[in-house]
A and B are shown apart, each in its own frame.
Chain A
Amino acid sequence: DQQVKQNSPSLSVQEGRISILNCDYTNSMFDYFLWYKKYPAEGPTFLISISSIKDKNEDGRFTVFLNKSAKHLSLHIVPSQPGDSAVYFCAASASGNQFYFGTGTSLTVIP
């Protein structure tokens, strides 16, 4: 039962353009969401988070948007850079003991 879904396994974007990565969830009790970035042969690294009391959180080139009614969040990267090429995971928690992760979206930024 996949409670967090990333329906696009891959995305290619031209350098300098915007990258939009999407994530959908099914559990309305989720109240904290995070995005992680993962390079091959490394562990995920934390990027940005948002709590359910907000609908937007911005950190430099990264912005996360949360639409609670649609149970949808997205990560915007602008401008995209080649170094952003990685797998991006979204994760969600319901104030419990675990995060539920999506299956990841592989982003390729083309120079």
Chain B
Amino acid sequence: NAGVMQNPRHLVRRRGQEARLRCSPMKGHSHVYWYRQLPEEGLKFMVYLQKENIIDESGMPKERFSAEFPKEGPSILRIQQVVRGDSAAYFCASSLAGVSYNEQFFGPGTRLTVL
């Protein structure tokens, strides 16, 4: 029973390139959350998705960032025209149901480094 999978585990991009981060939730989970952890900081919520729907993207920067969770396949967090400040660990979590009284299971994270 595989847990939450994220790939790649490490991603290096030059300024101006695009970064695509993938997340496969636990089997049976239809709720996906993306978090960002900057150095020396806690996890910051970015976006909450269910299959084919964005439920809450209040934590996501308005420009350059987008997320999707298609009917088939993994959830994708896409960062266009990356800048050095985007360097961080990006964690995906999934849950069986919504936030209320349900724990989230986290993937191992993708560490993005922007040169």
Q: Find out whether the CB atom of A96 lies under 8 angstroms from the CB atom of B99.
A: yes
A83 is an interface residue with CB less than 8 A from chain B: no
- Please tell me the number of chain A residues within 8 Å of chain B, measured between CB atoms: 26
Interface-facing stretch out of B13-21, B42-50, B69-77: B42-50
Once the chains bind, are A99 and B42 in contact (CB under 8 Å)?
A: no
CA separation between A72 and B105, bound complex, in Å? 24
On whether the beta carbons of B4 and A43 are closer than 8 Å, the reply is yes
Q: With an 8 A cutoff between CB atoms, is B8 at the interface?
A: no
Taking A32-B101, A95-B100, A104-B42 as contacts, is the C-beta distance between A44 and B106 under 8 angstroms? yes
CB <8 Å contact, B104 and A101 = no
The B-contacting residues of A in range 44-88, CB under 8 angstroms, are 44-46, 49, 51
A interface list, Cβ under 8 A from B: 4, 6, 32, 34, 36, 41-46, 49, 51, 89, 91, 93, 95-104
Using CB atoms and an 8 Å cutoff, list the residues of chain B in contact with chain A.
4, 6, 33, 35, 40-45, 48, 55-56, 58-59, 91, 93, 98-101, 103-109
Question: Can you list 14 A-B pairs, Cβ within 8 angstroms, ordered by A?
Answer: A34-B103, A46-B103, A46-B105, A89-B43, A93-B100, A97-B98, A98-B33, A98-B45, A98-B48, A98-B56, A98-B59, A101-B42, A101-B44, A104-B42
